[in-house]
Amino acid sequence: MISAVGYMRLVVEAIGAAVIGIGAVSTVFLFARSLLAPGEYSTSDIRLHLGRFLVLGLEFQLAADVLATAIAPTWKAVQLLAAIVVIRTVLNYFLSKELEREQAPQAPPRLGRDDSGA
């Protein structure tokens, strides 16, 4: 059982690394396309693209850390996992907030008068 969980941890960790790597490579191509065809992709579009991959990849990395701690739950390993969870959760929270903010439709500017016609 311990060796099976160890292999699962390695697979999940590799998936997380692959997701981040694929995201980085595809973002570089997106950025290059934006240089060749200005106006096709905005900087926000490119950042959102990379941010989605980072959030997903970090979730896989966190899952791998949980699996690693499940194998050998020493007090030091649990403390390390807690620190990693806090750091990655804070990072994921701010990445998610930025993604939400960037995806939110921009409201048209108000002219300073009521819509009631007064």
In a structure prediction context, what are the per-residue pLDDT tens digits for the chain, which is 118 residues long?
A: 778 888 999 999 999 999 999 999 999 999 999 999 888 888 888 888 898 898 899 889 888 888 888 776 788 878 888 887 888 788 778 877 877 787 776 555 555 555 555 4
What CA–CA distance (Å, rounded) separates 41 from 28? 12
pLDDT for residue 11: 94
pLDDT for residue 106: 57
pLDDT for residue 116: 53
Contacts of 16 (CB under 8 A, 6+ apart): 57, 58, 59, 60, 61, 63, 64
Whole-structure pTM value: 0.70
What CA–CA distance (Å, rounded) separates 44 from 51? 10
pLDDT for residue 105: 67
pLDDT for residue 110: 54
pLDDT for residue 108: 52
Say how many CA atoms lie within 13 Å of 19 toward its Cβ.
18
What CA–CA distance (Å, rounded) separates 85 from 62? 7
Q: Which of 103, 102, 100, 17 lies closest to 56, judged by CA?
A: 17
